[in-house]
Structure 1
Amino acid sequence: MDVIDMHNHFIAPAVIEFLAREGNHFATKIVERDGRRFFLIREKAMRPIDGPISNAQARIADMDREEVAAQAVSCVPFLMYPDVDTALGLTIAQVNNDAMVALGASDPDHFVPLASVPMQNPAAAARELERAAKLGLRGVEIPPKVVERQLDEPDFEVFWDAAEALRMVVCIHPFEAAPAGALSRYFLGNLVGNLYDTGLAAALLIYGGVLERHPNLRVVLYHAGGALPALVGRLDMGYRLVPECRSAIPRPPSSYANQFYFDIIAHSRGMLGHLVKTYGADRFVVGTDYPLPAGLAHPVEEVKALGLEPGDEDKILGATARRLLRL
Structure 2
Amino acid sequence: MTAATAPAGAAVVDFHGHLAVPEADALVAGTDGFARELTAEQRSHSAESLVLNRHQLASRARQLTDVRRRMADLDAMGVDVQVVGPMPMHHYWAGPALAAELAETVNAAVAAHCAQAPERLRGLGTVPLQHVDLAVRTLHRALSVHGLDGVSVSTTVEGRELADPVHDPFWAAAQEAGTLVFLHPWGCSLGERLATRYLGNTVGQPVETTVALSHLIFTGVLDRFPGLRLVVAHGGGYLPTYLGRSDHAWQHRPDARGCAEPPSAYLERLWFDALVYTPTALRQLVAAVGPDRLVLGTDYPFDMGVDDPVQRLDAAGFAPGIRAAIAGGTALRLLQQKGHRP
* TM-score, scaled relative to structure 2: 0.86
Matched, 1:10 2:25: no
Query: Which residue does the alignment assign to 1:161?
Result: 172
Distance 2:265 2:96 in 1: 36
Pairwise CA distance, 1:101: 1.5
Q: Does 1:318 find its partner at 2:328?
A: yes
The question of 1:263 aligning with 2:273 is answered: yes
| Partner Cα distance (2:135, 2:115) in 1 | 23
Counterpart of 2:118 in structure 1 is 108
Deviation readout 1:129-161 (Å, 9 max, x if unpaired): 111110211011100111220111111100100
Matches of 2:121 and 2:141, distance apart in 1: 19
Partner of 1:25: 31
Contact 1:239–1:245 under 8 Å retained in 2: yes
Residues 89 and 267 of structure 1: CA distance in aligned 2, closer, same or farther (over 3 Å): same
Residue type of the alignment partner of 2:255: E
Q: Match for 1:93: what amino acid?
A: A
Extract unaligned runs of 5+ from structure 2. 1-9, 43-49, 338-342
Matched-pair contact (CA < 8 Å) for 1:142–1:173: yes
Could you list the per-position Cα deviations for residues 21-78 of structure 1 after superposition, in whole angstroms to 9, with x for gaps in the alignment? 541127659xxxxxxxxxx94494544152211112111111111110111001112x
In the TM superposition, 1:123-202 aligns within 5 A as: 123-135=133-145, 136-176=147-187, 180-202=191-213
List alignment gaps of at least 5 residues for structure 1: 30-39
What is the identity, as a one-letter code, of the residue corresponding to 2:322?
A: D
Q: Which amino acid aligns with 1:123?
A: D
1:178, distance to aligned residue in structure 2 (A): 8.5
Deviation at 1:275, TM superposition (A): 1.1
Tell me which amino acid in the other structure corresponds to 1:225: G
CA distance in 2, matches of 1:71, 1:213: 31
Q: Distance in 2 between matches of 1:225 and 1:177?
A: 15
Q: Which residue of 1 aligns with 2:287?
A: 277
Q: CA deviation at 1:245?
A: 2.2
Larger relative contact order (CA 8 Å, sep ≥ 6):
2
Does the CA contact (< 8 Å) of 2:277 and 2:312 recur in 1? no
Identity of aligned residues (%): 35
Closer, same or farther: CA 215–305 of 1 in aligned 2, 3 Å: same
User: 1:246 is matched with which residue?
Assistant: 257
Q: Give distance in 2, aligned partners of 1:150 and 1:257.
A: 19
1:20/1:154 CA distance change after superposition, 3 Å? closer
Is 1:76 the counterpart of 2:82? The answer is no
Q: Distance in 1 between matches of 2:38 and 2:217?
A: 32
Q: Distance between the aligned counterparts of 2:297 and 2:186, measured in 1?
A: 17
Count of aligned pairs between the two proteins:
312
What SS is found at the alignment partner of 1:119? coil
Q: Retained in 2: the 8 A contact 1:101–1:137?
A: yes
1:294 pairs with 2:295 = no
